[in-house]
Amino acid sequence: MAAALDYADFVERYGGIYERSPWVAERCFERQAGELAPFELLKLLERCVDEADRDSKLDLIRAHPDLAGKAAVRGELTAESNTEQASAGIDQCTPDEFAEFQLLNNRYRDKFGFPFVMAVRGSNRQDILAAFALRLENDYETEFETAIREIHKIARLRLEAMSERR
């Protein structure tokens, strides 16, 4: 069980569950009642995202870095994103794979106006590149909803990792 926290501690602890979007934890703080088990907290965080307006959701999607993108090259990923991308071997791309990631990142952003988001932990580079190519065939609405579902998966994995460290 997660002990009840004051606002600052709650946002400090859970503000990074959703990539560069502490607003999710901020909005959830008022809804949490006492101690929450990790699963209950995850459901609360998910609800805060799902009930957010469309612009907030779009901002949330856009807060995610490109896979094998410029932020990774410049060392600007959050610690969580860096760990997640490394777990899928993205930091070990061959020059050809890196070029393919760049091409797909650009095509995806041009088509949808936001980055390709995928919970990559447990995947490898080939899985990710295949998913990229497949998802480029989707329409905007399908991809928007897919990105939100993938963001929820990332949040679940991050919350699980936090629970394991305690």
- pTM of the full predicted structure? 0.91
Are residues 52 and 99 part of one domain? Answer: no
Residues 140 and 70 in one domain: yes
* One domain, residues 55 and 72: no
Weakly modelled stretches of the chain, pLDDT under 70: 1-3, 33-35, 71, 166
| Same domain assignment for residues 160 and 80 | yes
Indicate which residue of 64, 125, 135, 158 is catalytic.
64
Looking at residue 108, its amino acid is Y
* pLDDT score recorded for residue 3: 52
- The pLDDT value given to residue 33: 55
70 occurs within a structural domain: yes
Catalytic site residue 152?
A: no
Residue 128 pLDDT: 96
Structure confidence at residue 166 (pLDDT): 64
CATH number, domain of 80, equals: 1.10.3330.10
Structural domains of the chain, count: 2
Q: Is residue 2 part of a domain?
A: no
**Which pLDDT belongs to residue 5?**
83
Same domain for 50 and 119: no
Q: Indicate if 52 and 83 belong to the same structural domain.
A: no
3-state per-residue secondary structure call for the chain = CECCCCHHHHHHHHCCCCCCCCHHHHHHHCCCCCCECHHHHHHHHHHHHHCCCHHHHHHHHHCCCCCCCHHHHCCCCCHHHHHHHHHCCHHHCCHHHHHHHHHHHHHHHHHHCCCCCCCCCCCCHHHHHHHHHHHCCCCHHHHHHHHHHHHHHHHHHHHHHHHHHC
- Domain of 53? 7-59
Statement to judge: residues 23 and 77 lie in one domain: no
pLDDT for the residue 1: 42
- In-domain check, residue 158: yes
Pair (69, 139) in one structural domain? yes
Residues 158 and 133 in one domain: yes
